[in-house]
Amino acid sequence: MALILTDAAITLSGKPLIRPFSLRVEPSETVTLMGPSGAGKSALLAFIAGDLASPFAASGTVTLDGASLDGLPPERRRIGRLFQDDLLFPHLTVMENLLFGMPRGKPEERLARAEAALAEAGLAGFGPRPPHTLSGGQRARVSLLRALLAEPRAMLLDEPFGKLDAPLRQAMRDVVFRNIAARGIPCLMVTHDAADVPEKGRVLLLKDGEVRDA
């Protein structure tokens, strides 16, 4: 289930931002993309996810598990995303946030899976609570669970640990990378913090429009 970019390029208002490059992210692999602010890292993730908006434009192809994603809307790509901000729906409970993105199935089975995930994350009994009653670390865990329960075929991480304190940041790194490896899905992560890079992980540098090995 490799994630493959072929001749991917991005322009901003018609001017080159990222020159054409190709990348293959293997199943269970997390590739880290680093570089200065404004280099186009988040725009690249948006291109892969299918929601890149004007004034950005992209060319090239994206394939996942051998199938082209070109032209597919975001909801059909089944790509999970984690951001620096948790983006939980404030009008939904924790449980409703988790159930929102889960595949269809028997209600009792979906509920049991969500409850088991909360328990594993140390959040047993948190299902009825509204997001605003949670701490930042608890919200981050719920956001992670929501992404994983959607059964993504790939993951995109955009500064996902940036707002966490040091002990929780390391704990969340462990949970995220362990789940990615266990599920056998490819992951592309954008970060400015070299400490976020998983052990022996591959690192790419985006600078002056060029993507190269760091």
Q: pLDDT tens digit string along 147-167?
A: 889 889 999 999 988 877 887
The residues pairing with 157 across neighbouring beta strands, listed in sequence order, are 82, 189
Q: pLDDT tens digit string along 85-141?
A: 888 999 999 999 999 989 889 999 999 999 999 998 889 999 999 999 999 888 988
Does the pLDDT value for residue 146 go beyond 80? yes
Residue 104 or 11, more confident: 11
DSSP string, 87-143: ---TTS-HHHHHHHTSPP--HHHHHHHHHHHHHHTT-TT-TTS-GGGS-HHHHHHHH
Where are the chain's structural domains?
1-69+188-214
Rounded distance, CA 27 to CA 46, Å?
A: 20
Domain 1-69+188-214, CATH number (from 3.30.465.10, 3.40.190.10, 3.20.20.120, 3.40.50.300): 3.40.50.300
CA–centroid distance for 137 within its chain: 17
Look-up of token digits 């959040």 = 123
pLDDT of residue 189: 97
pLDDT of residue 169: 84
pLDDT of residue 45: 97
Type and span of the H or E element at 166: helix 166-183
